[in-house]
């Protein structure tokens, strides 16, 4: 696999060749481009290839660093260009600079994967990448939430950041749904909701959307939740609508658009959950 | 060296239409250097135009390979360049040496690999084999660099290849350096001249020294400088037979170090010779001293020296 690299220092060619092997073996890509353009105004990664999920898998080869200024620049430009790039930085094992541990934290925080490549070509994955179109997500401020939800929300965030944003969003929605159903049950116990409905809803099995609407349509809603803007509950109802962003987009552009929606959805769900919890806390039930 | 850069034209040249100069002896660009330059170019752009010449609709680099690589990496469309006409082959090679070797820290071997060709082209132009002074003038290299290069050029090909392979590795994985080979060759040359019986096969001896350096039996490059000293045992009145046995042992595959060989054979003799030389220097200084001008602390030091010498001589 003796490829010739124009830009990469010769001392890193073996590392880059090993990274090519990794892309083929671990990601099943066949056509790997070397030091070619991703998009205008975006630095050229050492390697890139289109993956089956329509992300672009890139590898940037470094000697002793995993998040130097050049990688930071590449990440920033990919985000600006809205490219669904999953970026690995492959570095030479045993060459790590003193700044490496700090850089590894930065790489992880920015959704960049890190590969450690031995002289023999053996590769260890230090972290998995997240599509950069997802990575800019605003992190959940876990301390805003009650203790009983903290662990689940932390895990939802981890799931998102570790490369499964659809599941990460779904995990937050599960908490939101649980909060909605609990509230409905409490209101029902106090003689609300059911009184004006033809049939008492099944608070455990009926669609989340229906339960959320039942609360919103409760005639005493404004009394129960004084000083609360209806927008908060309207926001929750918006979260309950069935979504199809989890489907596989057909092109990298569609993938970028889907990722943008998922990122927004994750942030909105987190904000909405915090608002709803605060609203229920102040409610006169 | 004649170049006509007066017609050079400053223009924006598409990055994709530039090729590296095949005559550029520099093979290795350190990743850190490129990283730093890339940041500078990303922030400030290319402040100094690169130098290229035209060839068949493309541009060949004369000066600015690192800037060009960074421009490619940053995906710039064009770079500012001084474009000139194609030089002769000799001029092209000499330009490489003069522009780069003076300004940047090149790996010595990359110069050494190219130097024989430079000498051949110079010989053709000058109609005689170039003198060291002519090589210095034409290439811009110092005499010291040229001599060190020659030691590397004279290495058998297998060792030059070994060194090239080593230089191609990331810094942290490099064990053998150009300095190691230069020190080893200098040492073996002297041993070969002064104590030829110390080894039979020079390549086998090289292999042993390389292995001992890799396994750290030879801990420091400077240890190699002890080898000529051991070989010159006779010059310091040490036992040449013991020195020969020690050198043979050093040149065999075992854990016997150069340092141990030195300590066991000639270290004492060199130490005595050193003392003798220093005493001679003091005696010469004492001849020039006017007693009336002696400062009290110098007088005290001399008295202490006299007392110590007296004690030492009493025990003999």
* Chain B interface includes A94 (CB < 8 A): yes
Residue B34, min C-alpha distance to chain A (Å): 9
Q: Which residue did the predictor score with more confidence, A51 or A222?
A: A51
In total, the C-beta contacts within 8 angstroms joining chain A to chain B are 76
**pLDDT digits 0-9 by tens, B160-176:** 999 988 888 877 788 89
| Mean pLDDT, rounded, for B33-43 | 92
Q: Which residue has the higher pLDDT, B78 or A203?
A: B78
The residues in A 22-51 lying below 8 A from B, measured between CB atoms, are 35, 37-38, 40-44
Closest CA in chain B for residue A69: B39
- List, for residues A32-52, the tens digit of each pLDDT value: 999 999 999 999 999 999 998
User: Average pLDDT for residues B118-135, to the nearest whole number?
Assistant: 92
- For chain B, the average pLDDT equals 90
State the residue range of the domain holding B11. Answer: 5-150
With respect to residue B159, please indicate whether it lies within any of the assigned structural domains: no
Least confident of A41-50, A146-155, A185-194: A185-194
C-beta atoms of A69 and B30 within 8 A: no
- Measured between beta carbons, the chain B residues lying within 8 angstroms of A35 are 72-73
Interchain CB contact of A56 with B (< 8 Å): no
* Residue B308 and residue B251 in one domain: no
Residue B20 with chain A: CB contacts under 8 Å: 6
Q: What is the pLDDT of residue A1?
A: 44
On whether residue B109 sits in a domain, the answer given is yes
The tens digit of pLDDT for each residue in B62-107 reads 989 999 999 999 999 999 999 999 999 888 888 888 876 666 667 7
Final residue of a domain: which of B265, B283, B300?
Answer: B265
Chain B interface, Cβ < 8 Å to A: 20, 27-32, 34-35, 38-39, 42, 69-70, 72-75, 167-173
Query: Which H, E and C letters describe chain A, residue by residue?
Result: CCCCCCCCCHHHHHHHHHHHHHHHHHHCCCCCEECCCCCCCCCCCCEEEECCCCCEEEEEEECCCCCCHHHHHHHHHHHHCCCCEEEEEEEECCCCCCCHHHHHHHHHHCCCEEEEECCCCCEEEEECCCCHHHHCCCCCCHHHCCHHHHHHHHHHHHHHHCCCHHHHHHHHHHHHHHHHHHHHHHHHHCCCCHHHCCCCCCCCCCCHHHHHHHHHCCCCHHHHCCCCCHHHHHHHHHHHCCCCCCCCCCCHHHHHHHHHHHHHHHHHHHHHHHHHHHHHHCCCC
Do B242 and B137 reside in the same domain of the chain? no
Q: Domain residue spans in chain A?
A: 2-127, 142-283
- Would you say residue A177 has pLDDT above 70? yes
Q: Which of A9, A96, A116 to mutate to test the interface with B (most CBs of B within 10 A)?
A: A9
Whether B138 and B244 share a structural domain: no
Q: Does A180 touch chain B (CB under 8 A)?
A: no
Summarize the confidence of residues A169-192 as an average pLDDT. 90
Domain A2-127 class in CATH:
alpha beta
Residue scoring higher pLDDT (B286 or A163): B286
Same domain assignment for residues B11 and B131: yes
Of B27, B34, B75, the CB nearest to A41: B75
Percent of chain B with pLDDT over 90: 67
Supply the pLDDT for residue B99.
Answer: 75
């Amino acid at each position: 696999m003796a490829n010739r690299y124009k830009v990469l220092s010769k001392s890193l060619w073996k590392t880059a060749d090993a990274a090519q092997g990794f892309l083929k073996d671990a990601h099943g890509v066949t056509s790997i481009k070397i030091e070619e353009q991703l998009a205008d105004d975006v630095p050229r990664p050492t390697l890139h290839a289109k993956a089956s999920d329509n992300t672009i898998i890139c590898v940037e080869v470094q000697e002793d660093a995993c998040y130097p200024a050049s990688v930071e620049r590449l990440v920033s430009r990919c985000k600006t260009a809205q490219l669904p790039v999953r970026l690995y930085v492959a570095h030479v094992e045993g060459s790590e600079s003193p700044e490496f541990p700090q850089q590894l934290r930065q790489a992880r925080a920015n959704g960049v994967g890190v590969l450690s490549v031995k002289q023999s070509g053996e590769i260890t994955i230090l972290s998995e990448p997240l599509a950069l179109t997802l990575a800019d997500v605003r992190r959940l401020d876990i301390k805003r939430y009650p203790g009983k939800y903290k662990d689940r929300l932390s895990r939802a965030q981890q799931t998102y950041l570790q490369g499964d944003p659809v599941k990460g969003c779904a995990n937050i929605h599960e908490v939101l749904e649980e909060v909605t159903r609990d509230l409905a049950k409490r209101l029902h116990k106090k003689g609300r909701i059911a009184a004006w409905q033809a049939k008492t809803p099944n608070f455990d099995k009926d669609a989340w959307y229906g339960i959320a609407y039942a609360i919103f349509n409760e005639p005493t809603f404004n009394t129960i939740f004084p000083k609360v803007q209806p927008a908060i509950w309207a926001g929750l109802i918006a979260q309950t609508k069935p979504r199809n962003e989890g489907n596989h987009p057909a092109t990298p552009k569609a993938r970028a658009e889907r990722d943008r929606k998922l990122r927004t959805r994750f942030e909105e769900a987190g904000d909405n959950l915090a608002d709803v919890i605060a609203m229920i806390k102040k409610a006169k039930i | 060296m004649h170049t006509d850069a007066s017609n050079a034209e400053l223009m924006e040249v598409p990055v994709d239409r530039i090729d590296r100069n095949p005559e550029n002896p520099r093979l290795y660009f350190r990743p850190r250097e490129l990283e730093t330059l890339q940041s500078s170019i990303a922030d400030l752009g290319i402040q100094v135009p690169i130098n290229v010449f035209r060839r068949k609709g493309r541009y060949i680099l004369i000066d600015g390979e690192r800037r060009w690589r960074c421009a490619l990496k940053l995906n710039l469309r064009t770079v500012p360049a001084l474009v000139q006409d194609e030089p002769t082959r000799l001029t092209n090679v000499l330009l490489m040496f003069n522009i780069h070797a003076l300004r940047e820290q090149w790996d010595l071997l990359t110069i050494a690999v190219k130097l024989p060709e430079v000498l051949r082209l110079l010989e053709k132009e000058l109609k005689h084999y170039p003198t060291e002074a002519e090589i210095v003038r034409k290439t811009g290299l110092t005499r010291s660099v040229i001599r060190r290069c020659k030691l590397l050029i004279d290495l058998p090909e297998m060792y030059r290849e070994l060194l090239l392979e080593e230089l191609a590795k990331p810094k942290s994985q490099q064990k053998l350096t150009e300095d190691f080979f230069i020190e080893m060759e200098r040492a073996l040359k002297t041993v070969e001249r002064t104590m030829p019986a110390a080894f039979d096969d020079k390549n086998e001896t090289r292999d042993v020294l390389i292995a001992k350096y890799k396994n750290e039996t030879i801990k420091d490059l400077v240890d190699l400088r002890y080898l000529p000293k051991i070989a010159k045992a006779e010059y310091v009145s040490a036992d040449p037979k013991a020195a020969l046995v020690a050198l043979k042992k050093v040149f065999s595959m075992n854990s016997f170090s150069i340092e141990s060989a030195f300590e066991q054979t000639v270290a004492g003799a060199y130490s005595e010779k050193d003392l003798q030389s220093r005493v001679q220097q003091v005696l010469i200084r004492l001849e020039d001293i006017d007693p009336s001008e002696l400062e009290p602390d110098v007088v005290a030091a001399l008295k202490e020296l006299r007392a110590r010498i007296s004690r030492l001589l009493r025990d003999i």
